[in-house]
Chain A
């Protein structure tokens, strides 16, 4: 059985939330004409995700016996997914800095279509130029980030650990990104998102939750084929943590999201806050269990 790997839990979850947010912003940014991405939300998103990303990277250092030498972790890109992960996350961070710079640019000019009487063609051109750069930045960051997340998942794809040695880790990490990314964006954009945007994000979150649940069911059933996998499974099913995680991360969000989408009159924001909070907890627990339940193939002789 594994241990409570707090640094790793924080690093992975926070990092995934951060990238999730950027990803969502990018997505929202595609639609230029009708409901385009609000600048303020863009800024908020960029700032929050940046902070989370920074925190994540810091947390990852705490896992090391010798954080002061962490820079060396870049030296084995050849075969080590850990090296690749670090590289990609650093690149993501660079891309984010570009985004940050972008967001500073925004402030200088007033945004197009903000109801001002006369708009010169120059302004429009500049504005478009800008939104172009913006979505380029968002896209770049998202792609690098997603690659980073995939490689952090790949770290755990170890032949020694049947519970990990499959597509599971990649899917789990990406789903966390999708779910929490969307929910956090909803929170950040509580009063900046247009109804349509909210709706799509909510649907997306719901989708992620359902997929996550289904995948977990398949994953669980697959585990039991190997001895160690079975041990992991038994550990999970017998652990109260797992059931809390199930309620917080799957069932509660499922119900709430459905109800939010069903009746438009209820106060969305509060509920969205709750869902995000619960799902967040659920994901953290889930990640903790991911490490706790890992059982490696090992020597079973008597000591």
Chain B
């Protein structure tokens, strides 16, 4: 595995920002897109610029336009968000890992426990009494972002041993979880959405997955 000690902080930051903005976007839900979309679009732009991702150009554009949408448009986005991810009707693309990786597409499958154990390795658990499943997309993104932030920290502290450990942990988390289901999730969103903003979102998720999928095999961060 390539050593990441000298990996520029900026790369980590660009990554972390995107993950975090995604986490917030899903956590705050369709009702707060007017607040959460902005940061997401910004970090997404930074991300695609940094990695020179042509395939994101269009999505970037779409997102930028959606950002300019008026109140009514945002309301429509809210309805669509809930139709896709929340309910009360059967969500088209439930944002939970178990739904994709547990064969019977049920909540709270083995994957949820595996994720929980991952968090515990870092002395972390979901806030609240676990009513919200640990494999909720926002939580997984937050954890990934957190790991990146730790890498930055320990890089600051020049603790090579820890740097390596956190980098491994980060890639392990992607390899075992996010990259296994994010693609499926993105596809489901792309197939069932009726609003450009979510097709763009799915595009971003898809790119993010492929990128990280390469990385955990040892590519440059």
Direct contact of A and B (CB under 8 A): no
